[in-house]
Amino acid sequence: MSSLQPPVYPSDILVDGFISNTFSPQGADDFLALLLKTSDFLRHISYSKGVWYIIRNVQPPSLGVSTPNYSLPLDYSVRTTQGTVIPQDRWIPTDKVDIRRHVEGGALQLPIFFRNRCGGIGFWLPDILQGRHHDLYNGDRKAPLGGKTTTHIRINWPGYGHWKRQIPTRDETHARQPITLARFMKHIGTSVDKFFNQTMERDYVANSRWGIGANGITQCHIKIIGAVHVSAGSWMPIMQLTGYVL
């Protein structure tokens, strides 16, 4: 039997990417078109070893002068991991003016993914809360969060209402430097933990398979994969279960 794997195409990002598994394929298509400022974004995407990359020019090309390209990670394949990704509706402002200003006209940052030094993606939530994430790749680098002094972490867990928490994006030093990737991941983890603690006792009627609580999903079932910049002042976590929900 042949061991050859079927080819992976740029369009597969809308099926097997973490963003499409979070926002749905159509939701991912809409979001990536906003993020990359073109509906024809697939022609600028490449794939290699479980990662889709966006290909960009170093600088705008001058007439008759070629410019080098560079690639940045855009999304990762869920096929390289195990567990169901938590579906969420992408948060957008309710006011049309705010949508134009902070989403359509905002400088959205590329999604942030938390990788370990061995190349694996995602960290178990209890490990993040206990500070056991020292092998986070590039954890001491500044997190590219868009330049604001604060931002909101927003969660649209299926069956529950919208939840948000404001976090600082600058450290406590006199220079007020941007927080590191490790600090951002800790903020994400703390936010998800607070969301769970605040929703444990809520009545859940929409879909029992996503129910939160002692007889449902708890913090111990959650991996934090990364976060998506959905508006100029808001990020949504990408979350994955340690097992599968049927």
- Domain extent listing, the chain: 1-58+65-80, 83-246
What's the mean pLDDT in 173-194? Answer: 93
What is the pTM for the complete model shown?
0.90
3-state helix, strand, coil in the chain (%, to 5): 30, 25, 45
- C-alpha dist (Å) from residue 3 to 36, 48, 50, 79: 36, 18, 17, 16
Residue 57, pLDDT > 50, answer yes
- C-alpha dist (Å) from residue 61 to 33, 38, 44, 162, 194: 22, 18, 16, 43, 47
pLDDT tens track for 128-180:
999 998 899 999 999 999 888 899 999 999 988 899 999 999 988 877 888 99
What's the mean pLDDT in 86-94? Answer: 91
Higher pLDDT, residue 1 or 138: 138
**Mean pLDDT, rounded, of the chain:** 89
By CB neighbour count within 10 A (0-12 exposed, 13-18 middle, 19+ buried), where does 180 fall? Answer: middle
Conformational region of residue 146, where left means phi above 0, alpha means psi within -120 to 50, and beta covers everything else: left
The DSSP symbol for 209 reads: G
What is the pLDDT, as a whole number, of residue 131? Answer: 94
Which tokens hold the place of 162? 């919208």
What is the pLDDT, as a whole number, of residue 95? Answer: 72
| Torsion sign (Cα): 130, 134, 136, 141 | positive
Report residue 94's pLDDT band, with 50, 70 and 90 as the boundaries: confident
